[in-house]
A and B are shown apart, each in its own frame.
Chain A
């Protein structure tokens, strides 16, 4: 099991372009969480998805950000018309059940987005 795979590891976009970040959860995991880490900050929750469903997107900015987790393929975090403030590390975590005291969340290595 290769673990949670995120790609690309590094992504550079010009202001106004779109950024697409991919997350393939561990085999057998149907729960995916996305977190964002701004410089000098801790990880902040963005969105929680199960296959084909968004369960909680309360941490997502209302505009320009969207996420999906289709029946087949990876989860995608999409940022439209990127701005410099979107520069951050974006982490994906997966678990077989919802995260909990008895359920470990496994993290990917993250995608570092730089907006120039």
Chain B
């Protein structure tokens, strides 16, 4: 069965410091992974998908199949990065539904 693990619940960082959110997964097929973000009082929205290999708002994430990880990174945190971040796996064998991790609350301290 598919599973997504985000080990840290809360991450506090100072503005300008690097941010890394860990995500590990278990999946029997070839995984497709995403990061979703939810800013305060806003809806959940797609931040990154591994297939596009792009940097969004300074964030990057690399799929490491050997370590079954898809960690999210940003070299210099900004105050507007404070939000909930969810790692999600696209379950191709499960009618394309998304399997989510429990989420990381990121607080950027000015």
Binding site for B on A (CB under 8 A): 3-4, 33, 35, 40-45, 48, 55-56, 58-59, 91, 93, 98-102, 104-110
- A56 near B95 with CB under 8 A, answer yes
The residues in B between 46 and 70 inclusive whose CB is less than 8 angstroms from any CB of A are 46, 49, 51
- B100 near A42 with CB under 8 A, answer yes
Given A99-B90, A102-B51, answer yes or no on A48-B43 (Cβ-Cβ < 8 Å): no
User: What's the Cα separation between A4 and B30 when bound, in Å?
Assistant: 30
Other-chain contact of B4, A35, A42, A100 (Cβ < 8 Å): A42
The residues in B between 76 and 110 inclusive whose CB is less than 8 angstroms from any CB of A are 86, 90, 92, 94-103
- A43 near B86 with CB under 8 A, answer yes
Q: Which residues of B contact A105 (CB under 8 A)?
A: 46, 98
Binding site for A on B (CB under 8 A): 4, 6, 32, 36, 42-46, 49, 51, 86, 90, 92, 94-103
- B90 near A42 with CB under 8 A, answer no
- A100 near B43 with CB under 8 A, answer no
User: What's the Cα separation between A87 and B92 when bound, in Å?
Assistant: 29
- A42 near B86 with CB under 8 A, answer yes
Could you tell me the dominant secondary structure of chain A's interface residues?
A: loop
Given A43-B86, A100-B32, list of 7 further CB < 8 A pairs?
A45-B94, A45-B98, A48-B96, A48-B97, A99-B90, A100-B90, A107-B43
- Closest partner residue, chain B, to A109 (CB atom): B43
Q: Which residues of B contact A44 (CB under 8 A)?
A: 100
- B43 near A99 with CB under 8 A, answer no
- B95 near A98 with CB under 8 A, answer yes
User: What's the Cα separation between A105 and B80 when bound, in Å?
Assistant: 23
Q: Which residues of A contact B6 (CB under 8 A)?
A: 42
- Closest partner residue, chain B, to A95 (CB atom): B96
- A108 near B98 with CB under 8 A, answer no
- A56 near B94 with CB under 8 A, answer yes
- B49 near A43 with CB under 8 A, answer no
User: What's the Cα separation between A86 and B100 when bound, in Å?
Assistant: 19
Q: Which residues of A contact B86 (CB under 8 A)?
A: 42-43
Q: Which residues of B contact A58 (CB under 8 A)?
A: 94
- B97 near A99 with CB under 8 A, answer yes
